[in-house]
Amino acid sequence: MDGQRRRYQEVAEVLRKELSNGTFKVGDRLRPERQIAEEMNVSRSLLREAMIMLEIEGLIDVRKGSGTYVVRLPDTDQVTPNSNLEDIGPFELLQARQLMESNIAAFAASMVTKADILRMRDALEREREDLAKGSGGYEADEEFHLLIAEATQNSVLVDMVRNLWQQRTRSKMWDKLHERIFDHTYREEWLNDHQDILDALQRRDPQAVKQAMWQHLENVKKRLMELSDVDDPAFDAYLFQQDPLTPA
């Protein structure tokens, strides 16, 4: 494996070669994602990231409820843009957040102060206001997660969480994923998740906070997978079913 490539980039390269070997012509519909994932023995989330990469390159077009179509065949000497090599797949990023932020939240439960709780309540209230106004911004969402990190009183942990959010903001793949999503009612579900996290923090219960944060980011992953699926709206997602650090 080329150590400079992410796993989804390797999958994208296999698909790119398939497009250039004469199997497809412009206008052809690709096989459903589920089928391709099974053929390549990779997860649906990993394949989704590879497909998004090809979409950004202008090779394929995804049509909700219809499937994925070839719109351009790659040149045989085509070089993957450096910007794509530097990007991070949205589900890879979510997995990193899930592992990191659940443990940070557990630590925050033992350090949180009344002032921290009040700031988190304010952030949640701004989230509710944004939802009521139909705002598409995620500023209050990001602030809530950063406030949890700040409650640890550890600046290194705060920087780690902030860096993950900054990578999301810079990611073309994250933006392309959201272009597929037209139903934004999921944000109400995430707000409820945030309330569960805050309730556990107020109880200063590390295990409950860790589980609430883990479940929140699991819900984010599942909903984004479901809502961005162009092939089958009844997608039976499975990934990160439980905390791998906790015995089954």
Does residue 6 register a pLDDT over 70?
yes
Q: Kindly report, residue by residue over 18-40, the tens digit of the pLDDT.
A: 999 888 999 999 999 999 999 99
Query: Is this structure's pTM higher than 0.85?
Result: no
Handedness of CA 234, 237, 242, 248 (dihedral sign): positive
Beta strands, E only, the chain:
60-63, 67-70
- Whether 248 has a pLDDT exceeding 70, the answer reads no
Domain segments of the chain as ranges: 7-86, 90-227
Q: Check residue 2 and give its pLDDT.
A: 43
Per-residue pLDDT, 239: 40
Give 90-227's CATH code, choosing from 1.20.120.530, 3.30.1220.10, 1.10.3720.10, 2.30.30.240: 1.20.120.530
What DSSP letter does each residue of 17-82 carry, written as one string?
HHHHTTS--TTPBPPPHHHHHHHHT--HHHHHHHHHHHHHTTSEEEETTTEEEE--PPPTT----H
What CA–CA distance (Å, rounded) separates 159 from 37?
Answer: 35
User: Which DSSP letter does residue 225 get?
Assistant: H
DSSP-derived secondary structure letter, 239: S
Q: Nearest Cα to 229, choosing from 16, 38, 52, 6?
A: 52
Work out the average pLDDT over 66-94.
77
Tokens of 104: 């940070």
Please provide the CATH number assigned to the domain covering 7-86. 1.10.10.10
Per-residue model confidence (pLDDT) at position 202: 97
